[in-house]
Amino acid sequence: MKKIFVICLAITMLFSTGCGTGSSSRSERNPLQSIDTAMGTVISQSIYVEADEMAAESDVMEEAEYASGADDKITDDILQNITNLEQKTLSWRLPSSEVYTVNASAGLESGISLSEDLREILAECLGVSLASDGAFDITIGKVVRLWDIDNWATAEASSDYAMPGAEELQNSLQYTGYKKLKLQENTLFLPAEMQLDLGAVGKGIALDSLREYLAENEAVRGAVISVGGSVLTYGEKPDSEPWRVAVVNPTDTGKNLGYLELRGQWCVSTSGDYERYVEVNGTRFHHIIDPATGYPADGDLSSVTVLTDDGLLSDALSTACFILGQEKGMELAESYGAEALLVDCEGNIAMTEGMGQYFHAY
């Protein structure tokens, strides 16, 4: 948890770079910034709102009062939006969520009818599974539960941790495999014992949902929102400076390797071996599982940052590329027209051709 927070702070500090201060123009005032937790991670928001427009809409309140109230409502709404997504759709833990209900349907011969939103999410995930030859696989739930990954972030000490045995891991693998999943129109047939886990795409899905919310809110001129390791940039800053999104150094997470300079709407997701892990007898086990072995992916990469205009895709691809390793990961990102920055275990950086125009190294 502490590590996740440090990363988000680094991102937030970059958000502040170049913000106009001291100007009397309301359209150039500083953004409202907030840091909260939702979806088991840190949510950091920086929202620029056009005060003039809001004031024109209000003939009751003072301009400043109205603007400030609207700001608070926007950041609260954004947080609520993320919480709703978790509670109503994505959580495997909460009985109120659709994924929970789907998991409870495992083995049902009649299958289970999906909402249009979840059907689209699953279809897109299955596409990435196919394209990554199964490296990315949301049917990994049973294995993720065995490792107890979702409790690592809050574990006080790794010494309490009981690692899963090789045999039970091997046994759980028979209940995974995206090819065994049947999606017929909006009915999903989940084989007995199989469990879905959308942890690898939840943050990206949240970015897609927030982008829709912002687009419907005419008062918002620009925003940069970080949901854990995934960042949405939207619109523009009043001073027309680009958004800057930090790329963390995976071998020294208090520092950044550099930053992406972005204009307009983008989604940036990072998957890294430093983000969530547990240490057992001096060996570190991270949270990105190779579905072929049931163990943390043991490739040549320490982190992967993916840049696309789609949140789910940026999140799914960063996870998939991490598991595939440098060569195949690069190919996968390119096949989706996404930009990727891959850091290997020695700290060397490799990038897709287009990433060079956005990335600035320190």
Asked if 103 touches ligand AMP (CB under 6 A), the answer is: no
Q: Would you say 97 or 319 has its CB closer to Mg ion?
A: 319
Q: How far is the CB of 332 from ligand AMP (least distance, A)?
A: 13
What is the helix (H) or strand (E) element at residue 334, kind and residue range?
A: helix 326-335
Q: Which of 174, 203, 188 is nearest to 101 (CA)?
A: 188
Asked if 319 touches Mg ion (CB under 5 A), the answer is: yes
Asked if 190 touches ligand AMP (CB under 6 A), the answer is: no
3-state secondary structure of 164: coil
Q: Is residue 206 within 8 Å of residue 227, measured between CB atoms?
A: yes
Judged by CB under 6 A, the residue of 34, 271, 302, 352 near ligand AMP is 271
CA distance 315 to 357: 21
Residue 199 touches which member of Mg ion, ligand AMP, none, C-beta under 5-8 Å by kind: ligand AMP
Q: Which of 121, 304, 314, 332 is nearest to 233 (CA)?
A: 314
Asked if 121 touches ligand AMP (CB under 6 A), the answer is: no
Q: Is residue 225 within 8 Å of residue 44, measured between CB atoms?
A: yes
What is the helix (H) or strand (E) element at residue 360, kind and residue range?
A: strand 359-361
Asked if 196 touches ligand AMP (CB under 6 A), the answer is: no
Asked if 47 touches Mg ion (CB under 5 A), the answer is: no
Q: Is residue 201 within 8 Å of residue 312, measured between CB atoms?
A: yes
State the number of binding residues for Mg ion (CB under 5 A).
4
Q: Name the burial class of residue 332, with classes exposed (0-12), middle (13-18) and buried (19+) by CB atoms within 10 angstroms of its CB.
A: buried
Residues 265-279 as b or e (16 or more Cβ within 10 Å = b): bbbbbbbbbbbbbbe
Q: Would you say 149 or 207 has its CB closer to ligand AMP?
A: 149
Residue 197 touches which member of Mg ion, ligand AMP, none, C-beta under 5-8 Å by kind: ligand AMP
Q: How far is the CB of 195 from Mg ion (least distance, A)?
A: 18
CA distance 358 to 352: 11
The β-bridge relationship of strands 112-113 and 277-280 is: unpaired
Asked if 226 touches Mg ion (CB under 5 A), the answer is: no
128-147 residues near ligand AMP, rule: CB under 6 A: 136-138, 140, 144
Which residue's Cβ has the minimum distance to ligand AMP? 199
Phi-psi map region of 147: left, alpha, beta (phi>0 left; psi -120 to 50 alpha):
alpha
Residue 166, token pair as written in the block: 């090789």
Q: Would you say 222 or 229 has its CB closer to ligand AMP?
A: 229
Residue 137 touches which member of ligand AMP, Mg ion, none, C-beta under 5-8 Å by kind: ligand AMP
Q: How far is the CB of 236 from ligand AMP (least distance, A)?
A: 28
Interface ranges with Mg ion (CB under 5 A):
200, 315, 318-319
Interface ranges with ligand AMP (CB under 6 A):
136-138, 140, 144, 149, 197, 199-200, 271, 275, 287-289, 291, 315, 318-319, 323
